[in-house]
Amino acid sequence: MITVGLDFGTHQTKICIERKEGVELEYSFVKFNDSKGGLKYTLPTVIGIDEDTRLTYGFLPHNYKGRIIRYFKQSAFCMSSSSNALSQQESLFYSILYVANLLFDLEEQYGQMFTIQMGAPADGSSIVMAKKIATTIVASAYRLVEDVFENDKKSFLNATLQTLKELTEIVEYSDSIKEEYGLLVFPEAYACLKPLTSQGKISYGMSLMIDVGGGTTDISFFTVLNGKPQVYDYFSINKGLNYLTCAEDKVKDNRSLDSNVKNVIEINATRLIEFTKEVGRFANHLHQKLISEFRSQTNLKIERLNAALKNRPLIYSGGGSTFPNVIRVYDGFKELKVISFNEWNQKAVKDISEIKSRNLCPILSTAYGLAISTENDNIKLTPFRDIFKSMRGASEEVKKPQRQRPMGNFSYMDDYDAWK
């Protein structure tokens, strides 16, 4: 059985493959051909339209003269992007074409014997809509690959933009369509937890994860139970490395292709302050909810809660986690941790040495999590009240005063513990 973990990113896309034979598991990451003859673990989420209105996906030549389409994934999921003039319908169209380009290669290698588990930027209030949008994109891409072009990628790449517009049918969401293609859709905030919790790398207790991606930052508050994350809250912020580096200014000239962050000095100081404040507001809101539940369910001093949080990890992942000035502690959570190869099942991951040497674990972690096969994508939030259920009614222990006795007047009845 093969499961494809599709991390369709705003800035770059990653794919992880899970192969399961009995109880044996192997994970490998798809390598993409770049424009210089090399292989990369990430594919730029861009589409080039040349003078003949034919499309190129991912890596484009350095001096590419055509029109370049960016940030369509972000707009497709109804998330505003100041640098993108595309409508949501146009963004859906380009997202379908981009995913179709990936499906041609996946079906060529694996046939139709795989299922896709895809991530979506969402919080608890928007995940239902995000699942519908993701299903529409993938189902429409499948129709284009299998029914329209009949798995002929060459014909697909030779088609003009107008021809593709005429041939692309946007498939309306339905539960049956989602089931037909075996698609599961997970919040990106949840997907990046799975490599950690499935390997028992995080001990039981309250933990916070912040995944700083290209277009969004996904935050989740969770505990671990029986190797699975128990999520209490998750949230997606429409700000990531593109925002922090003013990427929209870097790519206003369509011939400027490279919006990758290479140096910490590229991060705008003013925007970093705003970004920190926004993440801080969520962390503070979370901390206040914890304090409220702690006080309502126990009679313990609040110092007990604060002391417990100091020893709990705040885990960072995503491309943003590789920059020291982006990662920091927030309310309550004091133990800073960045995802590395130590949190992965190293024996099961192919090319782990190369991934380790290139410090790609934080960037590939969401794709890895999405590839871990799961029965369904029903992520139910655990009620906040359950965090302290084992402590309900607990009070501070009151020490009884020692009974005073005259010097030299020893009594076995009074000093039973000492006698024992």
Provide the sign of the torsion angle of the four alpha carbons 258, 262, 266, 271, taken in this order: positive
| CA distances for 4 relative to 26, 189, 241, angstroms | 12, 18, 26
Residue 414 covered by a domain: no
The SS3 of residue 57 is strand
Q: Name which residue leads in pLDDT, 95 or 289.
A: 95
- Structural domain range at position 268: 2-391
pLDDT 10s digits, 368-384: 999 999 999 998 888 88
Q: Which residues contact 147 (CB under 8 A, 6 or more apart)?
A: none
Is 210 a member of any domain?
yes
SS (H, E, C) 290-339: HHHHHHHHCECCHHHHHHHHHCCEEEEECHHHHCCCCCCCCCCCCEEEEC
Q: What angle do CA 274, 302, 223 make, to 5 degrees?
A: 65
Give bridge partners of residue 210 from the DSSP assignment: 219, 316
The rounded distance, in Å, linking the Cα atoms of 320 and 310 is 23
pLDDT at 242 over 90: no
Note whether 67 and 48 are within 8 A (CB). Answer: yes
Residue 375 lies in a domain: yes
**Is residue 70 assigned to a domain?**
yes
Share of the chain above pLDDT 70, in %: 87
CB 94 within 8 A of CB 70: no
Tens digit of pLDDT for each residue in 342-399? 778 778 899 999 999 998 999 999 999 999 999 999 988 888 888 888 787 777 765 5
In a domain, 404, yes or no: no
Greater pLDDT, 207 or 165: 165
**Coil, strand, or helix at residue 389?**
helix
Q: Number of folded domains in the chain? A: 1
Stated pTM of the model: 0.86
Task: Check residue 345 and give its pLDDT.
Answer: 73
In the chain, what is the straight-line distance between the N-terminal and C-terminal CA atoms, in Å? Answer: 64
Segment 123-144 shows an average pLDDT of 93
Confidence of residue 279 (pLDDT cuts 50, 70, 90): very high
pLDDT one-digit tens code per residue, 173-229? 999 999 999 999 999 888 888 877 766 667 677 888 999 988 889 999 988 777 778
**Of 58-67, 91-100, 236-245, 340-349, highest mean pLDDT:** 91-100
